[in-house]
Amino acid sequence: MVVEPKILPPQEKKAITPIQSQPLVAKSLMPPGKFEVGPEQTFSIKLFIVQHKGLWKLVEKEVFGCEVHTVVFRMWTFDECLRLRRDSTIFDPTTRTNRMDNDKLNKLKIMKLLQEWTLGKDNPRLEIHRVGDVLTDGSWQSFMKLSPNIAERIISEMNSVLEYGG
């Protein structure tokens, strides 16, 4: 069997023309687009707090005599999500496994993503301050001074939005 080479017909040479498109824009300077998270994208948590027999209690909706407070968090990017999870993972040499320290992860989320709250309005010891994009250690101590049920509600609502989209 003999294979003959296939001869292709000569093609006309076309002049190369530049593609007519929009002017080039530095994409990294553009604001976040569809499906992206930007630094200005936040969510807020409303707390309805009432004092009953000397204890601070949370109620589900605004009732007469309750205080309404707002806690504002910044949305995290997927890169921040991975970094915070990596920083809160602990290697256990005994079982040779990695495990997630959820308390440390929640602390890192609050330190990095908490923007502001109105809880310090009536109590100057609960004011929060930021250095760069992280809460100061004093602000973390302010969070730790909260009533445990208030702190747990903030963490629960924060995780609900960050982990599961609301």
According to DSSP, the β-strands at 130-131 and 134-135 are antiparallel
Q: How confident is the model at residue 17 (pLDDT cuts 50, 70, 90)?
A: low
CA dihedral 113, 148, 69, 135 (to 10 degrees): -30
Phi, psi of 6, rounded to the nearest 5 degrees: -90, 125
What's the predicted TM-score (pTM) here? Answer: 0.77
Q: For the segment 108-155, what is each residue's pLDDT rounded down to a tens digit? A: 999 999 999 998 888 888 888 989 889 999 899 999 999 999 999 999
Domain regions of the chain by residue span: 76-164
What is the per-residue pLDDT for 18?
Answer: 58
Q: What is the largest CA-CA distance in the chain?
A: 102
Q: At what angle do helices 148-164 and 102-113 cross, to 10 degrees?
A: 80
Q: How far apart are CA 108 and CA 100, in angstroms?
A: 13
Q: How confident is the model at residue 6 (pLDDT cuts 50, 70, 90)?
A: low
Paired with 36 in beta bridges are none
Q: For the segment 26-75, what is each residue's pLDDT rounded down to a tens digit? A: 666 777 777 888 778 899 999 999 988 888 999 988 888 889 999 999 99
**Mean pLDDT across 91-112:** 92
What is the per-residue pLDDT for 4?
Answer: 65
**Mean pLDDT across 71-84:** 93
> Which strand ranges, in their side-by-side order, compose the sheet holding 55-59?
55-59, 42-52, 67-74, 114-117
